[in-house]
Amino acid sequence: MNKDNNNNNNITSNIHVNILMATYNGHLYLQEQIESIIKQSHSNWTLFIRDDNSNDKNKTINIIKHFTSLDKRIILINNFFYETKNLGVNKNFEYLLMFVLNRPKELNGLLKRPLTEYFAFADQDDIWKETKLEDSLKQMLAAEQLYGIETPLLVHSDLTVIDQNGKTIHSSFYNYQNMGPPNHQDNLNLINTLIFHNFVTGCTMFFNRSLAEMAAPFPAEISIHDWWIAQVASITGRIIYAPYSTIYYRQHIQNQIGALSLLKALNPIKIFSAKKGWCFLWKRGQKNLRTSFYHAKNLKLILEKNILDRDKQNKSKNQNQNQNQNQNQKHLLLLDQYLRLMLIPRFSIKRIISSQKNRFLCASKSRQLLFYLRLFFL
Which pLDDT tens digit goes with each residue over 103-115?
766 666 566 666 5
Half-sphere exposure of 330 (CA within 13 A, CB side): 15
Is the pLDDT reported for residue 150 higher than 50? yes
Do residues 155 and 136 lie in contact, with contact meaning Cβ atoms separated by under 8 Å?
yes
What integer pLDDT is reported at residue 12 of this predicted model? 77
Do residues 181 and 363 lie in contact, with contact meaning Cβ atoms separated by under 8 Å?
yes
User: Considering the chain, what percentage of its residues have pLDDT values greater than 90?
Assistant: 69
- Per the structure, the count of domains in the chain is 2
Domain assignment present for 128: yes
Please give the residue that has the higher pLDDT: either 254 or 307. 307
What integer pLDDT is reported at residue 240 of this predicted model? 96
Is the pLDDT reported for residue 1 higher than 50? no
1-10 long-range contacts, CB within 8 A, separation 24+: 8/138
Is the pLDDT reported for residue 65 higher than 60? yes
Instruction: Choose the final residue of a domain: 250, 284, 313.
Output: 250
Domain assignment present for 178: yes
Which pLDDT tens digit goes with each residue over 289-347?
999 999 999 999 999 988 887 666 665 555 556 667 788 899 999 999 999 999 999 99
Q: Report angle CA 145, 148, 151 to the nearest 5 degrees.
A: 135
Q: CA-to-CA distance for 220 and 228, rounded, in angstroms? A: 11
**Phi/psi-derived region of residue 276, left when phi > 0, alpha when psi is between -120 and 50, beta in every other case:** left
What integer pLDDT is reported at residue 117 of this predicted model? 86
Give the CA radius of gyration of the chain. 21
What integer pLDDT is reported at residue 50 of this predicted model? 96
* One domain for residues 90 and 195: yes
- Taking alpha carbons only, the member of 332, 263, 274, 337 closest to residue 298 is 332
Instruction: Choose the final residue of a domain: 218, 250, 282.
Output: 250
Is the pLDDT reported for residue 375 higher than 50? yes
Model confidence band, residue 3 (pLDDT cutoffs 50, 70, 90): very low
Instruction: Quote the pTM value.
Output: 0.90
* One domain for residues 71 and 218: yes
Burial of 287 (0-12, 13-18, 19+ CB in 10 A): exposed
**Phi/psi-derived region of residue 103, left when phi > 0, alpha when psi is between -120 and 50, beta in every other case:** left
CATH number, domain containing residue 141: 3.90.550.10
* One domain for residues 195 and 96: yes
Which pLDDT tens digit goes with each residue over 89-101?
999 999 999 999 9
Q: Which domain holds residue 372?
A: 262-377
Query: Who's near 30: CB < 8 A, 6+ residues apart?
Result: 23, 60, 63, 64, 124, 125
Which pLDDT tens digit goes with each residue over 19-57?
999 999 999 999 999 999 999 999 999 999 999 999 999
- Of the chain, the end-to-end C-alpha distance in Å amounts to 56
| Residue 33, number of CB atoms within 10 A of its CB | 24
* One domain for residues 224 and 167: yes
* One domain for residues 319 and 371: yes
* One domain for residues 220 and 268: no
* One domain for residues 214 and 97: yes
Please give the residue that has the higher pLDDT: either 177 or 274. 177
Among 133-147, 158-172, 223-237, 243-257, the minimum mean pLDDT is found in: 243-257
Please provide the average confidence, as pLDDT, over all residues in the chain: 87
* One domain for residues 335 and 188: no
> Average pLDDT for residues 59-87, to the nearest whole number?
90
Do residues 12 and 114 lie in contact, with contact meaning Cβ atoms separated by under 8 Å?
no
Domain assignment present for 16: yes
Do residues 118 and 170 lie in contact, with contact meaning Cβ atoms separated by under 8 Å?
no
User: Considering the chain, what percentage of its residues have pLDDT values greater than 70?
Assistant: 81
Instruction: Choose the final residue of a domain: 203, 230, 250.
Output: 250
| Residue 279, number of CB atoms within 10 A of its CB | 12
74-102 CB burial, b ≥16 within 10 A, e <16: bbbbbeeeeeeeebebbbbbbbbbebbee
